[in-house]
Amino acid sequence: MDIYKKHGIDEKEKKLLLDYMERDPSNTEIGIFSVMWSEHCSYKSSRYWLKNLHTEGKQVIQGPGENAGVIDIGDGQVVVFKMESHNHPSFIEPYQGAATGVGGIMRDIFTMGARPIALLNSIRFGELNHPRTKYLLSGVVAGIGGYGNCVGIPTVSGETGFDSSYNGNNLVNAMCVGVAKSDKIFYSKASGIGNPVVYVGAKTGRDGIHGATMASGEFDEDSEKNRPTVQVGDPYAEKLLLEACLELMQKDAIISIQDMGAAGLTSSSVEMADKGQVGIELHLDEIPIRQKNLSAYEIMLSESQERMLMVLTPEKTEVAKNVFKKWGVDFAIVGKITDTKNIKVIHQGNIEADIPIRYLTDNAPIYERKTIKKSKSVEYRDKIFDADTKEFILKVLNSANICSKKWIWEQYDRTIMANTLNSSGCDAGIVRINDTNKAISMSCDVNPRYCETNAKIGAIQAVAECWRNIISSGAKPLAITNCLNFGNPEKPEIMSDFVDTIKGITEASIVLDYPVVSGNVSLYNETNGSAIKNTPTIGGVGLIENIDFLDDFGDPKIGDEIVLIGKIGEHLACSTLEEVIYGETTGEPPAVNLNLEKNIGKAVLSLIQDNMITDCHDISDGGLIISICEMIMLKSKLGAKISVSNKNIINQLFGEDQSRYVVTVSQNNRYNLFSRLEKLEIENYILGKVTPKELKINNNITISMDELTNAYESLIPSIMCN
């Protein structure tokens, strides 16, 4: 096979490369081009569209383009966060793939000078009864936990989904949130001709060579055999690297710093030099290596984990060396910044590569791929389900996507750092910022069923749901990150959905003032030509300025009134109920009226912060009745008695209309609540009351607590056999 083709460089790209170089490139150079021009590093299919994202706002300090996004939370503090995919590696080796995904995203955060305070994840697998799902689920969950628990960062929220489209490609999207001082943020821009380039962290081995090109190609049945070099994560090494880096960051020694993630030394050195418009020279003989006889090609392309590259001020080099020595972490001066604007690689006396950096970055191929819009929704079945309401409720609670994920999150340390205020799997995770009365609220959301049926509506809905979850926790939504997981972008209908997704995210984030500050794209999630459902995961962050109101929130009391804020449910097309009852959905997903979303969200936030309501939950998958069950019965272990009109009862209970919340209000506050909602002209309906036990609907449907709990909690443990 042609060496270029073997590197995933097609004929057109090969010609471009040869034109640029005006000579035959060395193998190392071809390797460098191949990873820098891979989809994973160059975003060649998506870059053209990503620039349309809404990335600005007065809260934004750093938008996309750095290791992570940075937002202002006042008092000289900032929040640094990002989400990243590790889909392909975790399909091959679920434990290590997921673990290194967590490790990688954590490094993106502390690279910027922030101490990580929380982890989140969004993971998706094939059908629960698919033969590989159990193996992948237990491996991924153990891997996420194994890494985060060991480093000592709480995993506070997440979501897990199951769908046959992930049978051959599971998704692991990991998010990390950190806090830094606003005057101590570190960037990757290199500067200072002659300044030393320093390598710190674990030694380099043959791990994951071509991980970046692997993440940019489709799977076929031979994939498992073809990839002998999966990276192994070492959370212990990460913990030491984290502490050493944060200590050095207090000493004014670092000019720029970049984590070695995908495409390792190559992409980190190229990115640092590119941002600073300088050149970089690397002496590979100085790189700490784990195995003998690594070639220049292997050193440049290795994806060994837990490594960083830094540019230091020369006079502080000794100080830096001592910090890393103290933590037992390797430290080596491996090169210098030059004025050539080239990357020059020297190994055993030979110049192994000398490439103008712009060819690897700005002048890398970029594609405006063909798009063909294809409507995927089939005509709505428009059939009123007249079966047993009770059976429907229990079936939905017992379905893979709705049921309790306790089996999963009990494997994640959620209480370490002693600042986790809510981690019970409801809505968002909330973490207090140490030594303050402030807290950060975080959530990950997407509904692939909606996104696959109508990419734009689905993307808007994902942003809106993520906004709603932050609101429900009592926090003001500030900004989002995303992980855009799609199939093969060379297929025009997938590319069309990708473009619509960007449009949807943009529209929603403009109206909601919820800008995108970081993110990641994962394409080619296909096996044997069959793609995953479009899965643009949104990770949101919000701020609670003073947590005092939380003391009287989240705890509904018997006798409280249950109130629906928003319209009465109608929309059953593309719903969870359809999926659970028929195994497939029909019609279009529910559209979001973004202005209404914003008004209702702001009103609900003020109700929570003014302690006018005792609890709040957004209404999403499964509709009103599932939200009531989750909030009152399954979380608070109380009962509810509600009445709804006898017409279209199924639509009212299971409709997935958007921009809605269910809240509970004490008798003392009910007048204030209704008068405020009236003044704001926000639709609302009294549904019933919180009772000591059991769910009662219209006096003719009764479901006991045991029935509800059993339906909700038994599914995953029964599949996983414990």
Partner 1 sequence: MKALVYVRLKSEVLDPQGQAIESALKNLGQKKISNVRQGKLIEMDINSHNIDEVKKTVDQVTKTLLANTVIEEYSIEIK
Partner 2 sequence: MDVTIISFPGTNCDVDTANAVSRKLNTIPKIISCKEKEIPKSDLIIIPGGFSYGDYLRSGAIAAREPVMLDLVNKAKNGVYILGICNGFQILTEVNLLPGVLLKNNSLKFISKTIKIKIIRNDTFFTSSFAKNETVSIPVAHHDGNFFIEKKALMEIEDNQQIAMRYVDPINGSLNDIAGLYNQKFNVLGLMPHPERAIDIRTGSDDGIKFFESMLNFANI
As annotated, the active-site residues are 40, 86
Which residue from 10, 285, 339, 410 is in contact with partner 2, where contact means CB under 8 A?
410
Sign of CA dihedral 247, 249, 253, 256: positive
Q: Which two tokens stand for residue 369?
A: 């791929």
442, 156 contact by CB (below 8 A): yes
What residues from 509 to 528 belong to the interface with partner 1 (CB under 8 A)? none
550 binds partner 2 (CB under 8 A): yes
Stretch that binds partner 2, among 209-217, 406-414, 489-497, 683-691 (CB under 8 A): 406-414
Residue 545 to residues 73, 324, 519, Cα–Cα distance (Å): 8, 36, 26
Q: Binding partner of residue 550 among partner 2, partner 1, none, CB under 5 to 8 Å per kind?
A: partner 2
Binding to partner 2 by CB under 8 A, coded x per residue (else -) over 478-517, reads ----------------------------------------
Count the site residues for partner 1 by CB under 8 A: 22
Q: Binding partner of residue 92 among partner 1, partner 2, none, CB under 5 to 8 Å per kind?
A: partner 1
3-state secondary structure (DSSP) of residue 582: helix
Strand pairing category for 171-181 and 115-125: antiparallel
419 binds partner 2 (CB under 8 A): yes
Smallest gap from residue 191 Cβ to partner 1 (A): 33
547 binds partner 2 (CB under 8 A): yes
Question: CA-to-CA distance for 698 and 645, rounded, in angstroms?
Answer: 8
449 binds partner 2 (CB under 8 A): no
Question: CA-to-CA distance for 155 and 173, rounded, in angstroms?
Answer: 13
138 binds partner 1 (CB under 8 A): no
Which residue from 21, 92, 416, 705 is in contact with partner 1, where contact means CB under 8 A?
92
Residue 264 to residues 46, 231, 245, 380, Cα–Cα distance (Å): 22, 12, 18, 49
Smallest gap from residue 427 Cβ to partner 1 (A): 36
Stretch that binds partner 2, among 85-93, 176-184, 410-418, 650-658 (CB under 8 A): 410-418
Which residue from 37, 91, 327, 467 is in contact with partner 2, where contact means CB under 8 A?
327
Of 161, 361, 159, 135, residue with least CA distance to 268: 361
Nearer to partner 1, 209 or 479 (CB): 209
Q: Binding partner of residue 547 among partner 1, partner 2, none, CB under 5 to 8 Å per kind?
A: partner 2
Nearer to partner 2, 546 or 643 (CB): 546
Binding to partner 1 by CB under 8 A, coded x per residue (else -) over 200-219, reads --x--xxx------------
Query: CB 244: neighbour CB atoms within 10 A?
Result: 22
Smallest gap from residue 138 Cβ to partner 2 (A): 8
Stretch that binds partner 1, among 91-99, 440-448, 518-526, 632-640 (CB under 8 A): 91-99
Of 138, 69, 143, 147, residue with least CA distance to 109: 69
Smallest gap from residue 92 Cβ to partner 1 (A): 6
418 binds partner 2 (CB under 8 A): yes
Count the site residues for partner 2 by CB under 8 A: 34
Nearer to partner 1, 235 or 540 (CB): 235
Please state the separation of Cα 249 from the chain's center in Å: 27
Please state the separation of Cα 457 from the chain's center in Å: 19
E strands, 427-566, in order:
429-432, 439-445, 476-485, 516-522, 526-527, 530-531, 535-544, 561-565
What residues from 221 to 260 belong to the interface with partner 1 (CB under 8 A)? 224, 227-232, 234, 236-237
Q: DSSP secondary structure string, 494-525? A: HHHHHHHHHHHHHHHHHHTT--EEEEEEE---
Reading phi first (left if > 0) and then psi (alpha if -120 to 50, else beta), residue 306 is in left
Reading phi first (left if > 0) and then psi (alpha if -120 to 50, else beta), residue 142 is in alpha
What residues from 426 to 445 belong to the interface with partner 2 (CB under 8 A)? 432, 434
Question: CA-to-CA distance for 626 and 11, rounded, in angstroms?
Answer: 54
Nearer to partner 1, 233 or 487 (CB): 233
Query: CB 51: neighbour CB atoms within 10 A?
Result: 10
What residues from 150 to 209 belong to the interface with partner 1 (CB under 8 A)? 202, 205-207
Smallest gap from residue 329 Cβ to partner 2 (A): 10
Q: Binding partner of residue 207 among partner 2, partner 1, none, CB under 5 to 8 Å per kind?
A: partner 1
Please list the alpha-helical segments (H only) found in 215-316.
223-226, 235-248, 264-276, 296-301
What residues from 57 to 86 belong to the interface with partner 1 (CB under 8 A)? none
What residues from 283 to 342 belong to the interface with partner 1 (CB under 8 A)? 290-291, 304-305, 328
Q: Which two tokens stand for residue 178?
A: 């950190």
What residues from 415 to 444 belong to the interface with partner 1 (CB under 8 A)? none
Q: Binding partner of residue 382 among partner 1, partner 2, none, CB under 5 to 8 Å per kind?
A: none
Smallest gap from residue 460 Cβ to partner 1 (A): 39
Binding to partner 2 by CB under 8 A, coded x per residue (else -) over 657-686, reads ------------------------------
Which residue from 84, 93, 465, 560 is in contact with partner 1, where contact means CB under 8 A?
93
73, 438 contact by CB (below 8 A): yes
H or E element at residue 172: strand 171-181
513, 438 contact by CB (below 8 A): no
What residues from 96 to 155 belong to the interface with partner 2 (CB under 8 A)? 142, 145-146, 149-152
CA torsion 297-270-217-119 (nearest 10°) is 110
Of 280, 274, 292, 258, residue with least CA distance to 67: 258
Question: CA-to-CA distance for 716 and 722, rounded, in angstroms?
Answer: 9
Residues that bind partner 2 (CB under 8 A): 142, 145-146, 149-152, 234-237, 239-240, 327-328, 409-421, 432, 434, 547, 550-551, 722
Residues that bind partner 1 (CB under 8 A): 92-93, 96, 202, 205-207, 224, 227-232, 234, 236-237, 290-291, 304-305, 328
